[in-house]
Amino acid sequence: MPYSLKLLLFSLLTTSACLVILPLAPFDRDGILAYRISRFWAWGILKLCGIRLVVQGLEGLDPNRQYIFIANHQSYIDIPVLVQALSQFQLRWIAKKELFWVPLFGWVLWSSKHIIVDRSSLSRAMNSLSRARERIEKGISVVVFPEGTRSRHGDLLPFKRGGFLLAFKSQTPIVPVTIKGSGVVWSRGDWRIRSGEIAIVMGKPVSVDRYRAQDLKLLVNRVRAEIESHSHPQTDSLSNRSNSFRTPAQHRPG
């Protein structure tokens, strides 16, 4: 398929999903319907772009409970990747305030009840964590990119602590998530999306029960170390595929 046609279909699919989601906002208090539509969008985007997912570790997660997913961030494609890889969960992202000013995309973030974080104000940031906690209490899981931005070369950037503080306050287990290959599929600063394979490794849930507030740095370091350990090629176990691995072609959103 010519890339110009692929780009056109990408734009049409994204715009169509946005135009369906936006009118639902007044009637979709928790963003449940909007998120279901986003699952179809994510599946369509990955299928259209020829992106295959290899997911490891899902068998260690309980689809009937909520988690805080802490993930590395290499590319814009990470968002549909996680929507598809974690299709059994209702997810909400903690996103910086600036994204909500992006035309159409920002409006959809608001309509889907994702969580705005204003980093310029500590009190507003804490209010955002309170809203995230309310989402969790309603059975919704939260996704955090603790680096705060996309890594240019794939190396982990310093982790911000907001998502870990949320885990403490809500007593919600943290799941370390390692995304590999998304920076090659859609590089930062490049408008082209390449076909290829992206691997996602779900770590075992980390309970915060035995940590205290003063142990926050220890928890951050533990989760960061696990994500980093799975990011190296020598830790890849992609050749050992089982039923816990899925691709967009095998799994359509329900």
Return the domain boundaries, the chain.
3-235
Q: Within 13 Å and on the Cβ side, how many CA atoms surround 252? A: 1
248: nearest Cα among 8, 28, 54, 18: 54
Cα(178)–Cα(11) distance, integer angstroms: 28
| Residue 242 pLDDT level (bands cut at 50, 70, 90) | very low
CATH for 3-235 is 3.40.1130.10
What confidence tier does 237 reach under pLDDT thresholds 50, 70, 90? very low
Q: Which of 5-14, 77-86, 147-156, 167-176 has the lowest mean pLDDT?
A: 147-156
Per-residue pLDDT, 155: 76
pTM: 0.86
